Amino acid sequence: MERVRLTRRAGREARYEQVMERCEQGLTAQEIGCQLGMSERTVQKWKASGTFPEAKKRRKKHSEFDIFAPYVLKRWQEIQKQGYTGSERTVYRHRETLKQASVQTSLKPDRLHTFTASTAVWLFVRDKKSLDEIEQEDLATFCQASPTLKRTYDLVQDFMQMVRKREGHRLDAWLERVASSDLAELQSFAAGVEKDKAAVKAGLTWSINNGQVEEQVTKLKLIKRSMYGRARFPLLRQRVLHAV
């Protein structure tokens, strides 16, 4: 840190000398700032000071980590005594690996028995970003408990990705993946998709849908059923038109 500080000071001092040389040449603060890439205000301040302006020592801000710093330093000294000769940067690069290890140690396989089938399915189809910490741990437990569940989760999420982002062009590849898997339940679902694949692909591609039509059909059925079958088409027509 001291070496870095001295290097920065040397660069700052060289810049100060350049400013002073240009001041002696009669250049304005604006012209000097444009040439050296500095603000006009800084040039004026340096010129008015008359001496090299030493950088002010930065005041260390309070951090929540401060109370843990002695503990971390002690652990660092311990691994060095055990023979570690690497750098702090190497330890930093392993941070993500250490996080994953922490997640694995927090998994609770016993919780799987408390899940109903519908709850587990809902956990599989939701966007992972919307899950809280406990739900993410439960999901990770499911995926680690069985390779079959992990393959199922990957295929389900891939399909949900097509739905959310309207990526209908990937439907054929997804159906091939399901067909080559040993997941009978998903294969049954894929068989239903194959029967009406053109409509499914359109729904996964276009922004338009038949929701408005279905809404009108539902309203028509509601009016018709409220008549209890005691009237014929003319009355039904009038009621539909007045309902609009």
**Could you write out the three-class secondary structure of 100-144?**
HHHHHHCCCHHHHHHCCHHHHHHHHHCCHHHCCHHHHHHHHHHHH
Do 118 and 154 have their domain in common?
A: no
Do 220 and 202 have their domain in common?
A: no
Q: How far is CA 195 from CA 24, 61, 190, in A?
A: 87, 65, 9
Q: What residues of the chain score a pLDDT lower than 50? A: 102-103, 105
Do 7 and 35 have their domain in common?
A: yes
pLDDT for 96: 57
Do 152 and 138 have their domain in common?
A: no
pLDDT for 82: 81
Beta carbons within 8 Å of 160's beta carbon, 6+ residues apart? 125, 127
- Domain membership flag for residue 39: yes
pLDDT for 171: 92
Q: Which residue range forms the structural domain that includes residue 37? A: 2-49
- Domain membership flag for residue 82: no
- Domain membership flag for residue 61: no
d(CA 87, CA 76): 10
Total-model pTM: 0.45
55-100 pLDDT per residue, tens: 666 666 667 767 777 778 888 788 888 887 877 777 766 665 555 5
Do 191 and 220 have their domain in common?
A: no
pLDDT for 110: 64
Do 227 and 185 have their domain in common?
A: no
Structural domain total, the chain: 4
Do 222 and 181 have their domain in common?
A: no
Nearest to 177 by CA among 158, 202, 160: 158
d(CA 94, CA 86): 12
